A and B are shown apart, each in its own frame.
Chain A
Amino acid sequence: MIVAEKLSKYFGSKKVIQDVSIEVKRGAITSFIGPNGAGKSTLLSMVSRLLKQDDGIVYLDGKDVHKQKSKDLAKTIAILRQSNVVQMKLTVRELVSFGRFPYSSGRLTAEDEQKVSEAITYVNLEEMENKYLNELSGGQKQRAFIAMVLAQDTDYILLDEPLNNLDMKHAVQMMKLLRKLVEDFGKTILLVIHDINFASVYSDRIVAMKDGKIVAEGPTEDIIQSDVLKSIYDLDIDVHNISCNRICVYF
């Protein structure tokens, strides 16, 4: 379980996260929604030790993340940030192999190779595995990065806007894949996501943030409500039940 207590973060004198406390349940998809600049990505970065908070503590399975060995943490928690600009000429398989770095420091064993192949198959990139990343489309590249995170084989997976660059078909595939990871392997997934309908349909819980604070939190059906969404986005949003899914209309 991930527990954050009274996290705060300043960039200069600006407070981007203010006293945020949160508990994230295991074996579920938790989506972080909210307007731009709400502090969602910053929060995820702090939870995954990429960014040091100015105040507060993050506990991962009961232990302070900043007091654990980075290499051990890399086997428990994986994060994929928003911008993945690759300057380097690497093949898909080489990128995915990086995911095994915490286990084998770059000298892959047979088991590592196996996991890499599985991850590549999982995101349907087998035919592309020897292609260079800069030859791929945005969506394929995104899937290659997801495969790397899968190869890292961690209990916790944090994804910052994983649907960026994906067309509708691949966005749906991606979310179904994440759903499957939760159901098949009991992974815990945290997402920053902008499309509230994707959040509504695929997540178990939703955390809504605004101006560095959590404004609403709970099971998806409690958050996807017109009045709650109005307070988050300042927008009139109709919520409809369509084939058991709660769909928001806000156009």
Chain B
Amino acid sequence: MKLIYLIIITVLLAVCSLFVGVENVSFSELWKMDEEAWNIVMISRLPRMLSIIMAGISLSICGLIMQQLTQNKFVSPTTAGTMDWARLGILVSLLFFTDASPIWKMCIAAAFALFGTLLFMGILQRLKQKDTIFIPLVGIMLGNVVSSIATFFALKFDLVQNMSSWLQGDFSLIMEGRYELLYISIPLLIIAFLFANMFTVAGMGEDFATNLGLPYKYVVNVGLIVVAIITAVVILTVGMIPFLGLIVPNIVSIYRGDNLKNSIWHTGVLGAVFLLVCDIAGRLIIYPYEISVGLMVGVIGTGIFLYMLLRRNAYA
């Protein structure tokens, strides 16, 4: 598949996304400069569409980076516990830094996410058994432990309602003024693009990378910081979107290989396409109500993930 086709599909879906919703907005109304129609688009639809695209691109690239650095196809922000740690960070910021601005909340969540991911990487290095399936299982268990701690404290301090909005990814609450934090992911994605070659070499292992004169630890740390901040930003604005960072890079790997130079663009754009489809479908299935995107991705993603697990010997 050519990149240009993927981009065309993204644009088409993005336009669709603008015109799907309870309030009917039509092309002719916009053409006639109908004020109400324009308001709906500018305040609600456009922010929603932009945040879907940014979240889709950045989460799938996060997954790609993590898979590369851990040399494991089944590691992603979901299966390494990064998302659960970010959520715990948000809880902590709600409890102890009530008045903190969104930027500070993001920083705290990112710090937790980074710590959790480093912990996972540390465990990974000490593990004797490098089985492909075993490693993400460890991450999922770790994530669940962290997640139950978060839920426990949320219950104790009556924050469950608040927490659950971060539990399930949802774009229905996105509107002007509530998604701009996502723009932070753009410079981070640029860093990811610039480091793409180095991530590929680092993915060959520490000895291999050192032999080629690559500062291995530095490159790995840059990758993990990018992943942690992006994950925190997405969870704060949109919520948890499971599996996206897992399946999209794997699909791209099948037809583009694992050289990041070749696959990073495809991964990003396909991530946006995937999330747009899930979101539009979620909005249409029980119209005029909505199925949250977290659930949609979860359902579709589980299916694809299972399929990948079952035929992993064929390509992984």
Contact = CB atoms under 8 A, between A and B. Distances in A.
Contacts of B197: 101, 105-107
Interface in B172-229: 196-198, 200-201, 203-204, 207-208, 210-215
B211 A74 contact: yes
Given A87-B72, A94-B259, A106-B197, A81 B207 contact: yes
Contacts of A107: 197
A71 interface: yes
Interface in B225-280: 253, 257-259, 261
B315 interface: yes
Interface size bracket, B side: 20 to 34
Contact of B204 (A78, A88, A152): A88
B71 interface: yes
Contacts of A81: 207-208
Given A87-B71, A88-B258, A94-B259, A78 B253 contact: no
Nearest to B213: A74
A94 B260 CA distance: 11
Interface string B94-131: 00000000000000000000000000000000000000
A249 interface: no
Nearest to B72: A87
| Residue with the greatest number of chain B CB neighbours at <10 A, chosen from A69, A71, A80, A101 | A101
Contacts of B315: 89
A101 B258 contact: no
A74 B201 CA distance: 14
A79 B211 contact: yes
B255 to A, nearest CB: 10
B158 to A, nearest CB: 46
A101 B214 contact: yes
A162 to B, nearest CB: 15
A98 interface: yes
Contacts of B212: 74, 98-99, 101-102, 152
Contact of B201 (A72, A78, A89, A106): A106
| Residue with the greatest number of chain A CB neighbours at <10 A, chosen from B68, B71, B214 | B214
A137 interface: no
Interface residues of A, number: 31
A94 B257 contact: yes
B72 A101 contact: no
A50 B207 contact: yes
A187 interface: no
Given A88-B204, A89-B315, A102 B213 contact: yes
B109 to A, nearest CB: 31
A89 B213 contact: no
A89 B258 contact: yes
A198 interface: no
Contacts of A50: 207, 210-211
A102 to B, nearest CB: 5
Given A106-B201, A107-B197, A89 B214 contact: no
A16 to B, nearest CB: 17
A6 B8 CA distance: 64
Interface in A179-227: none
Nearest to A75: B213
A86 interface: yes
A90 interface: yes
Nearest to B73: A87
A135 to B, nearest CB: 11
A72 B215 CA distance: 12
Interface in A60-92: 69-75, 78-81, 86-91
Contact of A89 (B71, B72, B253): B253
Nearest to A45: B207
A49 interface: yes
Contacts of B72: 87
A110 B263 CA distance: 23
Nearest to A73: B213
A89 B73 CA distance: 11
A86 B204 contact: yes
Given A78-B211, A99-B212, A132-B257, 15 more contacts: A49-B210, A50-B211, A70-B210, A72-B213, A74-B212, A75-B213, A88-B257, A89-B258, A90-B259, A91-B257, A101-B197, A101-B213, A105-B197, A105-B198, A106-B197
Interface of B: 68, 71-73, 196-198, 200-201, 203-204, 207-208, 210-215, 253, 257-259, 261, 315-316
19 contacts: A49-B210, A50-B211, A69-B213, A70-B213, A78-B211, A80-B211, A81-B207, A86-B204, A88-B200, A88-B203, A94-B257, A98-B212, A101-B197, A101-B212, A101-B213, A102-B213, A106-B198, A132-B257, A152-B212
